[in-house]
Structure 1
Amino acid sequence: MSKTILITGAGSGFGEGAAIGLAMNGHKVIATTHVSSQVMPLREKAKELGLDNLRVDRLDLTDPYDIAQAQSWDFDVLWNNAGMGEAGPVWEIPIDLVRRNYEVNVFLPLVLTQGVVQRWVAGNKKGKVVFTSSMGGLFTPANWGTYVSTKHALEAIAEALQQELAPYGIKVQTINPGAYFTGYNETMADNPFRWLDDSKNFTQRADLRKGFDEFFATPEGRMDAQEMIDRMIKIVPADTGKFRNVVPKQIEDMLKAHQLAAWENQI
């Protein structure tokens, strides 16, 4: 059955690819972008592909007027996909950057979601909310703690929402991608170098860069994003499925092993 799906963060990466894929599959898509300059390029792509069921608008989560407008739109699925990330050592990262990461990844999506689901409950609409979490929502590698802690928070919020909204027929689930090559993780890895100072910080820039580069050189750090997009366009509109969706399978197995091992972790 065709759904109307609102996607945040559809200006690039998973969001853009999935918006196009969902529209190609016959769904009505409201693809929203963080900045105005991303709107017209995506509209042009939709036009070139003949996708008159793919609508593109701006939705800057930091703009309360954008949020209020989006909360008034009519759709069946809210996909909270927008996000940003701060990397670097948690013990040295400036706290204002941590707060900003939580604002964008946790607080503002929750503001948007609250307005949508409250309207759904009041109108007896049985919709669905999807959160793009991360493999990092289920474990914490060194030097990624700020970003992945926001995803840990999203996991808790989504799990609570699933229980709270079930009586109203509203479904909730998460999607937890591995480190697919979209440019998102690579750009996030650049962020610490705008504040990290060898004359002030204990963590040295060259050491941090070396660690990031070594990870991105592995197959696990450069997976083809199309695999994830193909799964997303099936998961998001579905009426049934898992609450948590980790892709690919080897990452799911790794996370399960990590969580089991955590019970025996020694200080």
Structure 2
Amino acid sequence: MSTKKTILITGAGSGFGEGTAFGLAKLGHKIIAGVQIAPQLTELRKKVEAAGLQDNIEVIKLDILDKYDVALAVKRDIDVFFSNAGIGESGPAFEIPLDLVRGNYETNVFAPLELSQKFAAKWIREGKNGKIVFTSSMGGLFTPSGYGIYVSTKHALEAIAEALANELNPYGIKIQTINPGAYLTGYNETMAENAFRWLDDEVNFTKRADMKANFDSLLGTPEGRLDPQEMIEAMIEIVPSDEGKFRNVVPQFVEDMLKEHQLKAWENRI
């Protein structure tokens, strides 16, 4: 394990972000846990106090789309920026409303890039080494039907991360991605439900029942409902480490599937 670090985590109000914040704090790292909305502040602070981790976890409001939250966050002196916040829009790419597409990109691509640019510039000016870790997805490397827009944001994030890794290497700034499989945090299930806000059987070619059947086929299997603790334990190890792989897919069977999928893509025909 690396030396103790100060780590800023976005999207720390639930799921992977929350679990990783607590796990890292228990190892002695100093965590700045950013949450999106004010009610999450109170709830997470209660959990921190109950766990006796007040000296290691500071909970702040950090809506990555709020320029005032971002300005305050970038003033922090940190060693690692763990860009974990994200949202997911689902539904057929040929019918989804474009305002939802734009919103998904604002949260999953533009905001993480802006924060990364700001921290990178700060570290370069200070002559300090730093590290940025992005929560990507298995969907950053393939595209399942019904999730095309969401995973396209992760495809974009993969490209940005690879560019940053090359560009920031001369400054001693390291970049990694973490690519979770289908873990049962509630995130994927909520994303699937989002399509039904706008899908209308009287308007859309894609019918609601068909969309639900598609989602159930992907998320209703054991492979689509993995124990998130496995991913959290991996994040606890990856995020503060000074060495490791650029891309980190968990679990192994998903990495194997993705490699096979990418090889087969060269033989795809129309």
* TM-score between the two structures when normalised by the length of structure 1: 0.99
Moved more, 116-125 or 205-214: 205-214
Tell me, in whole angstroms, the C-alpha distance in 2 between the residues paired with 1:151 and 1:217. Answer: 22
Cα shift at 1:214 = 2.6
2:136 to 119, 124, 133: 133
Q: How does 1:168-183 map to 2 (within 5 A)?
A: 168-183=171-186
Tell me, in whole angstroms, the C-alpha distance in 1 between the residues paired with 2:221 and 2:51. Answer: 34
User: Partner residue of 1:21?
Assistant: 23
Moved more, 212-221 or 11-20: 212-221
Tell me, in whole angstroms, the C-alpha distance in 1 between the residues paired with 2:236 and 2:16. Answer: 10
Question: Do the aligned residues in 1 keep the contact of 2:146 with 2:215 (CA within 8 Å)?
Answer: no
Tell me, in whole angstroms, the C-alpha distance in 1 between the residues paired with 2:214 and 2:93. Answer: 15
> Unpaired segments of 5 or more residues in structure 2?
none
How many residues of Structure 1 are paired with residues of Structure 2 in the alignment?
Answer: 267
1:151 aligns with 2:154: yes
Query: Which aligned segments of 4 or more residues in structure 1 are displaced greater than 6 angstroms?
Result: none
Q: How does 1:73-88 map to 2 (within 5 A)?
A: 73-88=76-91
Query: What's the CA shift string for 1:73-132, capped at 9, x where partnerless?
Result: 011000000000000000000011000000010001111111111010010010000000
User: Partner residue of 1:69?
Assistant: 72
User: Partner residue of 1:236?
Assistant: 239
Q: How does 1:1-267 map to 2 (within 5 A)?
A: 1-51=3-53, 52-267=55-270
Question: Do the aligned residues in 1 keep the contact of 2:133 with 2:177 (CA within 8 Å)?
Answer: yes
Tell me, in whole angstroms, the C-alpha distance in 2 between the residues paired with 1:131 and 1:78. Answer: 8
> Unpaired segments of 5 or more residues in structure 1?
none
Name the SS for the 2:112 alignment partner: helix
Name the SS for the 1:158 alignment partner: helix
Name the SS for the 2:63 alignment partner: coil
State the Cα RMSD in Å: 0.6
Query: What's the CA shift string for 1:35-89, capped at 9, x where partnerless?
Result: 1110111111111111121110010011101011101101100000000000000
Tell me, in whole angstroms, the C-alpha distance in 2 between the residues paired with 1:256 and 1:134. Answer: 14
Tell me, in whole angstroms, the C-alpha distance in 2 between the residues paired with 1:219 and 1:163. Answer: 37
Name the SS for the 1:175 alignment partner: strand
Query: What's the CA shift string for 1:172-205, capped at 9, x where partnerless?
Result: 0000000000000000000010100000000000
